[in-house]
Chains A and B, each alone.
Chain A
């Protein structure tokens, strides 16, 4: 253990689901973790769990759609931990993900942009000087298969997530000389209680919904670790085989 010893990580949307699982795994592997989220109660619970397990964590309430809150949050992390090595952009707004194309309001689309590519861009820009100083910077942006195969009815969400993947690729090209890798995660995980609700398993090759703890977080850990130092601008798909085609 200790694959992230000495590292400082920011995880947005770290209060629940995949973000929470990622934050806890990073802390277990030796990272100091800043958990950013909207809901103080969720943040406090994750921080408490990490500390109870002997790890180091800091809770920072932050609305990633607010530019000044991002600036303040990153400042808080640097003040507390002195550096930033890993940025995990996982946050999103689940209340605006669904709409058919015909019914998609510009307001809903803009909200998806504000919580997705714009938020991720701001976080990346704010963290960049620290990621560069790290010498082993890591940016991990969450995308979605919804955007790649156009899963209905997630039009606004899919559009925003494809913009995120393009941001990832461009930053990968531009920040490679700074030894910062930038990659996408395209997970499929049960963060909505499907298994508990006894829903039938999905028709994917691995025949189950993903677990944030066992199936997704370890892949984020891989990308954050030294083992993935030569992978950049790509998308990893812990999705049980949902997307399998010649593209990759």
Chain B
């Protein structure tokens, strides 16, 4: 299928988990994909795998907490592929997500802001002229049910992710006139490669299983990246097996 034929996508945090699955699916659907992550060997490997499958990809090292690296990376994508249509802000630093409020250091909180909403903002600003020029821009920002539910001992991560969801809503309002939709994805997926599948208890959700990055999450990102979602903006999609169900939405 070629639902993204001729489109250019940037996926951050694309060396593993949901980012990896997303990069591969977007490429399989015809997009040229820029694979962004922290290390050269990992981005090169992912790009090589995509190309081996018949897709088009480049690997770009980018620490999304570094403003200069973002500017450079976006320019490299434009130089290689001629434009940008889809930005998937998926990267985050999983080593700093936990802290009790009483013990939360400002440094840890700031790190969550730096790799979350600030990184999303910088990437969105850098991509904006290209998204606008393309005529059917898509920004897909990853957030978390941890933020919506304010899970205990996840304050810095929750605060950062909720700021990120607010950024999505503002940009949705401001960039609608430019033909750009901006939405959040709140996934629940097994990306804990360090824990074997059998070792994870079935979650207490209606679908009673962890999500698969390939089969449950990436197809939702594909939907948001495609023409099918052209009239949805400023919203949050929740491929989470029913973990979040309430009247809010």
A residues lining the B interface (CB < 8 Å)? 162, 165-166, 169, 172-177, 179, 204-207, 210, 214-216, 218-219, 221-222, 226-241, 243-248
Q: Given A176-B208, A222-B229, do A232 and B219 touch, yes or no (CB 8 Å)? A: no
A232 B220 Cβ-Cβ under 8 A: no
Query: Within the assembled complex, what's the spacing in Å between the Cα atoms of A101 and B240?
Result: 37
- Contacts of A162 on B, CB cut-off 8 Å? 247
In the complex, how many angstroms separate the beta carbon of B165 from the nearest chain A beta carbon? 7
Please list 25 pairs of residues, one from A and one from B, whose beta carbons are closer than 8 Å in the complex, sorted by A's number: A166-B247, A172-B242, A173-B206, A176-B241, A179-B207, A204-B176, A207-B177, A214-B231, A219-B228, A222-B223, A222-B228, A230-B217, A230-B220, A231-B237, A232-B241, A233-B244, A234-B237, A236-B232, A236-B237, A238-B231, A238-B232, A241-B172, A244-B235, A248-B235, A248-B248
Q: How far is the CA of A169 from the CA of B247 in the complex (A)?
A: 8
Pairwise interchain contact A228-B223, C-beta atoms closer than 8 A: yes
Tell me the chain B residues, 113-134 only, with Cβ under 8 Å from chain A: none
Which A residue sits closest to B230, measured CB to CB? A215
Q: How far is the CA of A207 from the CA of B217 in the complex (A)?
A: 29
B245 and A248 form a contact (CB under 8 A): no
Residues from chain A with a CB closer than 8 A to the CB of B235 are: 236-237, 243-244, 248
A219 and B231 form a contact (CB under 8 A): yes
B215 touches A229 (CB 8 A): yes
Q: Contacts A176-B241, A229-B216, A232-B242 known; A237 to B206 CB distance under 8 Å?
A: no
Quick check: A231 and B173 within 8 Å, CB to CB? no
Per-residue interface assignment for chain B, residues 32 to 69, with 1 indicating a CB less than 8 Å from any chain A CB and 0 otherwise:
00000000000000000000000000000000000000
Map CB proximity to A onto B128-165 as digits: 1 under 8 Å, 0 otherwise: 00000000000000000000000000000000001001
Chain A residues near B241: list those with CB within 8 A: 176, 230, 232
B94, CB-defined interface residue at 8 Å: no
Q: Name the A residues within 8 Å of B216 (CB-CB).
A: 229-230
CA distance A244 to B249 in the complex (A): 11
- Chain B residues with CB below 8 A from A172, complex form: 206, 242, 245
CA distance A214 to B236 in the complex (A): 21
Known: A229-B216, A244-B234. 13 other contacts (CB 8 A): A169-B246, A169-B247, A176-B208, A177-B207, A204-B176, A206-B231, A219-B229, A228-B223, A230-B241, A233-B206, A240-B176, A246-B169, A247-B248
Q: Is the CB of B238 within 8 A of A234?
A: yes
B residues in contact with A169, CB < 8 Å:
245-247
Q: Pick the contact of B233: A173, A241, A247 (CB < 8 A).
A: A241
Query: Chain A contacts of B177 at CB under 8 A?
Result: 205, 207
Find A205's partner among B173, B228, B247 (CB 8 Å cutoff).
B173
In the bound assembly, the distance between CA atoms of A169 and B242 in angstroms comes to: 9
B176 touches A177 (CB 8 A): no
Give bound CA distance, A216 to B239, whole Å: 20
CB-defined contacts of B169 to chain A, threshold 8 Å = 244-246
How far does the Cβ of A178 sit from chain B's closest Cβ, in whole Å? 10
Q: Smallest distance from the beta carbon of B203 to chain A beta carbons, Å?
A: 11
Is B200 an interface residue when CB atoms closer than 8 A count as contact?
A: no
B28 at the interface (CB under 8 A from A): no
- In the bound assembly, the distance between CA atoms of A158 and B226 in angstroms comes to 31
Given contacts A176-B207, A229-B216, A244-B173, contact A235 B231 (CB under 8 A): no
